[in-house]
Chains A and B, each alone.
Chain A
Amino acid sequence: MVDGMHLTPIGSRTVLLEPRDGMDPGDPEAYAEPLLQYLQRNQARRLIYDLKNVPVIDELYYAWLVRVSALCQIAGIDLVTANMRPAAAYALALMLTAPPPFTCALDVDSARGVARR
């Protein structure tokens, strides 16, 4: 287990990540290695990041997601976000100047079906 997040293998070499309230996106170093270790231990090919409990994605949080995406890419793992809230998508769209480096899905079921990059 990794502090600050709930990780669940959900089959087909996919891991579901649900961030907890205590997770600090401003300190990615605290989570990077443990997360990657967990994913590699479970031979994950896909990480689904569930954003249903994330009300706002600001620059800090987005930087954290980009960091996770970069880590996954290095390890040959696809990152797919799911359940982004309308308000978070709205604010993020206004902030971004380029598409995100990860795939976004409507929900976890859709995320499972996303084709691998």
Chain B
Amino acid sequence: MLNIGKISSIIEKQGQSIFGQTNLLSNEEISDYTLEFLELFVLLVQKGDKPDHRSPEFKALRKFFGNASHQIQLRGGTLDEFVRYVQFLQRVFLENLESDSSATFEQTREILLLLATMFNDIVLDVFHSYLEEKERTITAQQEELRQTSTPITEIWDGVLTLPVIGTLDSSRTLVVMESLLSRIEADRAKVVVIDVTGVLAIDSQVSHHLIQMIRAIGLMGAEAILTGIRPEIARALTNLNIDLGDVITRSSLSEGLKEAFRRLNIEAVNKPRPVPAS
């Protein structure tokens, strides 16, 4: 009923057209995938029962497509390409069925049902796999952004700087606080200069997180100096009636560093250039 040989060459040719030309899969891989797919499909059809999502043959076929789509995604393939290919596979089987006059009405109906169920499930699986991969990428990128957007740097013995860029939500505050407090302990830091020049907007939640961070620094025995409060941030803080209390603030990072040095009894002086001997 199914002319596997003919179908195999049609599928392989289309695979080369979609994936081979863009170098997503090599010709050998396309050939292997075609063979494996047809073997799994034949196993499923030969089972003879009505389509059952729980059957090992069905699961094996879905897993095959899941793995294939994952590999293509990793190599930069698009979802469109893969779904078009799956739809093409379905069309090939339907056309083959149409051209076969030996099948009874019952057999045709059963195969149509099988194909519809199978390919619908496969397309859904491919979508899920695509979304999961995208979410994984986004999560990894968010984590990297979180790490790089709040670097803690020791700029002098006992002086750490923490430039805050973007917004400061609860989860970010917790991550930053954990790193910062460990650094204070490890570096025996006495002063931490937190620069908020890069903070886009401040609301009661952001200021609450900042105050928590400053409080934690104080509990460790270090001093926090808050710098870079822009006029719009200062206005927002006053509008929100937020009292920074005893928090030391300075207008800029350089002023903050001068204050840090002052507290550590460190003085930076301009040393005159040595006059070269004539």
Say yes or no: is B258 at the interface (Cβ < 8 Å to chain A).
no
Say yes or no: is A79 at the interface (Cβ < 8 Å to chain B).
no
Q: Mark A98-110, 1 if CB is under 8 A from B, else 0.
A: 0110001111001
Interface residue total, chain B, C-beta cutoff 8 A: 20
- The residue from A104, A107, A111 contacting B219, defined by CB atoms under 8 A apart: A104
Q: Is the CB of B222 within 8 A of A106?
A: yes
A88→B178 CA distance, assembly (Å): 11
Q: Is the CB of B220 within 8 A of A86?
A: yes
Q: Is the CB of B221 within 8 A of A86?
A: no
Say yes or no: is B245 at the interface (Cβ < 8 Å to chain A).
yes
Say yes or no: is A93 at the interface (Cβ < 8 Å to chain B).
yes
Interface residues of A in 64-109 (CB under 8 A from B): 81-82, 84-90, 92-94, 96, 99-100, 104-107
Q: What B residues does A86 contact at CB under 8 A? A: 178, 181-182, 184-185, 220
- The residue from A82, A87, A104, A111 contacting B218, defined by CB atoms under 8 A apart: A104
Interface residue total, chain A, C-beta cutoff 8 A: 21
Q: What A residues does B215 contact at CB under 8 A? A: 93, 96, 99
- The residue from B185, B190, B216, B222 contacting A93, defined by CB atoms under 8 A apart: B216
Distance (Å) between the CB of A101 and the closest chain B CB? 12
A81→B221 CA distance, assembly (Å): 8
Q: Is the CB of B177 within 8 A of A90?
A: yes
Q: What A residues does B218 contact at CB under 8 A? A: 99, 104
Closest chain A residue to B182 by CB distance? A86
Interface residues of B in 174-230 (CB under 8 A from A): 177-178, 181-182, 184-185, 188-190, 212-213, 215-216, 218-222
